[in-house]
Structure 1
Amino acid sequence: MLLLAALLALAPAVQGEELLRVSSQKASLKILLEAAGELNNLPYRIEFASFGAAAPTAEALAAGAVDIGTLGDAPFVFAAGAGAPLKTVGVVRVNVTQTAVAIVVNQDSPLRDAASLKGRKITTTRGSIGHYLALAALRGAGLTGKDVQFIFLQPAESRGLLANGEADAWATWDPYTSMSQIEGGTRVLVSGEGLFAGNMLLVANDAAIRDKPALLADFLQRLARAYAWANANEPAFSAIQARYSGLPVDIHSRSNRYSQPHRVPIDAGVIADVQRTADLYRAEGLISQPFDATGRFAPQFNPEHSPQ
């Protein structure tokens, strides 16, 4: 509360007509906050935008069309490395399991490890955590992105490409990994465990950080409480998600049981995770300029105490 009080003293009072514009993939934040009751009695308005992948969220943030949104390490670096005026104001961490992010192949695929991907076709979304995982896995096997053929598509299209044999592997994330596991016909070739830090970044543009610090701070607190509620009420939350997505509740339940997202402070470890992502992207030629992760965070929004 001290952080919020300090920010309120520095910014205009939070009034009903003030607006915070929030973006997430497939309305995930709106669904979460609404389910947890965190949209009740708001002292300001929230306008939600929804996109199917991280890249449009980054574009909307950079253009000033939204104030804050969710990005993984990789799409954040991809956007910020291209010059977008963005900073991370909060971090949510998920437990990295085989259902968090993975490279999957068809059950009868001859591929057995990352090294066997050489010369193969990998489908993923450009600049996504799936893209990052594929590059990290290849590097770990002594290969680079030049040793494979990437086919950049949105998840639904990538799934079809793998199913009909036009791609050898699919680098993706939840709920798509859980979906492929439950529906069968695929197996995990490379898990994100040990390769992906599990950070989901809450990213704001410079204008919002300057003009709406109290709203951002309040929103981040509400989000932390909402995730704590969702973790404590997994069956109810999974059922709510399924009603919105149209997917079987088992897919959401599998993902939520294992991921347990929770807010963590911006610290040296988080910054180092993002720097490693940036270094990998630069080594692969995906960003051309040096990237200093330290300057891409706004730690003044850190919680006083990390949620337990």
Structure 2
Amino acid sequence: MKLKRRGLLGLGISTAALAACNKFANAPSNKSSGNLVAANTDASSTKLRLGFQPPYVAVYALREQKLLEKAFAGQSTNFEFRRMLSLRPLAEALSAGALDLGLGGTPIAAIANGQPIRIIALVERSPKTHALLVLPNSPIKKIADLKGKKLGNPSGKSYYFAIRVLERAGLKDTDVEWVQIENDAGRSALLSGAIDVWGTWDPFYASAEVAKEVVPLVDGEGYQLNYVALFGRIDYIEENPEVVQKFLQAYKQAITWAKNNRQPAVDILVKQNKLSPEAADLTFSRRNLILEPPNNEYRQELLEQSQLLTRLGLIEQQPNWNKAIDTTLAQTVVAS
């Protein structure tokens, strides 16, 4: 089952990628949206287009502190920041050539399907930011109560966290009705009764929680590590290693700034995501910001996730993680 709405990308890659490109072309100016920062459009300029999801405070710090401009001082530059609601449209925009780098959960299905994406760094490890949410007066009190219910989330049946929750409670993926719905529509779907449980993450989770509209049935602690990765198009990374390395160095500085300036960082989340101060503070408190190369713990979770997706028939084959992961650029930045 799918709920129809603009931006719901449950379609094939070509249609979804085209929709992403059209969305970019119609995006408002940077002054009003904060999505675009462009210094010079000359063909010889350094170009970097980053797609990211709403809660990544270091991206906003990177922009507001002008850390990329400082990293590329004296060079003609063209930087773009594209805020996206979930991982699927981000990965498809990368594959379509509409983005160069992306920040989010690892796009396992896209990589398994042969899309030209490479993982180069880890920037968060935040398991408690994901949750399965129900209404405060819901008859669903435990995981076993989900049998026969409608579970909505942006990834549909491929939502690894939800699958693990179900299986550990002795349920199968076929015991629930999967509803694929984007994060900006999931809240109203839950409140209206169109779905029984909403699988989402911060800041959508925090915003509904502080409004006392939902309660978490379970969060991600103990079910997934929820590493957030920096990844990009293989051709862009191979053709622009110095640009990517400078980006990583600037992002490392943004993380340090956010950790050392909690209240200003929370204020940025309030402004950029139109959150209440309480929701922004809760979102920030559940995020563990890091900058490190992909590690063995991360690799093991990728293996477990891809094995589960293969078993469920959601991907046809295991990705070659040795080819999909490059640790060299992040190692250089961490060592500097």
Q: TM-score range by the shorter chain?
A: 0.7 to 0.9
1:58 pairs, out of 62, 70, 91, with 91
Change (3 A) 1:267 1:94: closer
Paired AA for residue 237 in structure 2: I
Paired AA for residue 120 in structure 1: K
Q: Which runs of 5+ in 2 are unaligned?
A: 1-42
Contact 1:16/1:45 (8 A) holds in 2: no
- Are 2:222 and 1:189 equivalent residues in the alignment? no
1:305: how far off?
7.4
Contact 2:157/2:173 (8 A) holds in 1: no
Provide the C-alpha distance between the structure 2 equivalents of 1:145 and 1:209, rounded to a whole number of angstroms: 37
Contact 1:27/1:51 (8 A) holds in 2: no
2:144 pairs, out of 115, 120, 123, with 115
Paired AA for residue 94 in structure 1: R
Q: How does 1:1-308 map to 2 (within 5 A)?
A: 17-26=45-54, 28=56, 30-43=59-72, 44-73=77-106, 76-97=107-128, 100-126=129-155, 131-304=159-332, 306=334
Provide the C-alpha distance between the structure 2 equivalents of 1:53 and 1:198, rounded to a whole number of angstroms: 14
Percent of aligned pairs with the same amino acid: 25
TM-score by length of 1: 0.87
Q: Which residue number corresponds to residue 3 of structure 1? A: none
Paired AA for residue 64 in structure 1: G
Contact 2:61/2:257 (8 A) holds in 1: no
1:269: how far off?
1.5
| Greater mean alpha carbon deviation, residues 261-270 or residues 210-219 | 261-270
Change (3 A) 1:16 1:234: farther
Provide the C-alpha distance between the structure 1 equivalents of 2:81 and 2:153, rounded to a whole number of angstroms: 26
1:304: how far off?
4.5
Provide the C-alpha distance between the structure 2 equivalents of 1:251 and 1:155, rounded to a whole number of angstroms: 16
Provide the C-alpha distance between the structure 2 equivalents of 1:246 and 1:175, rounded to a whole number of angstroms: 10
Paired AA for residue 221 in structure 2: E
Provide the C-alpha distance between the structure 2 equivalents of 1:215 and 1:128, rounded to a whole number of angstroms: 36
Contact 2:132/2:216 (8 A) holds in 1: yes
1:132: how far off?
1.9
Measured against aligned partners, the alpha-carbon deviations of 1:71-103 in whole angstroms (never above 9, x if no partner) come to 203xx1021122211110111123322xx0010
1:195: how far off?
1.0
Contact 1:103/1:171 (8 A) holds in 2: yes
1:27: how far off?
9.1
1:243: how far off?
1.6
Provide the C-alpha distance between the structure 1 equivalents of 2:55 and 2:199, rounded to a whole number of angstroms: 22
1:128: how far off?
9.4
Change (3 A) 1:260 1:128: farther
Contact 2:109/2:315 (8 A) holds in 1: yes
Measured against aligned partners, the alpha-carbon deviations of 1:87-122 in whole angstroms (never above 9, x if no partner) come to 10111123322xx00101111112122222111110
Paired AA for residue 87 in structure 1: R
Measured against aligned partners, the alpha-carbon deviations of 1:270-305 in whole angstroms (never above 9, x if no partner) come to 111111111111122111123332321011112357
Count matched residues. Answer: 288
Contact 1:123/1:158 (8 A) holds in 2: yes
Change (3 A) 1:24 1:95: closer
Contact 1:272/1:293 (8 A) holds in 2: no
SS in 1 for 2:70: coil
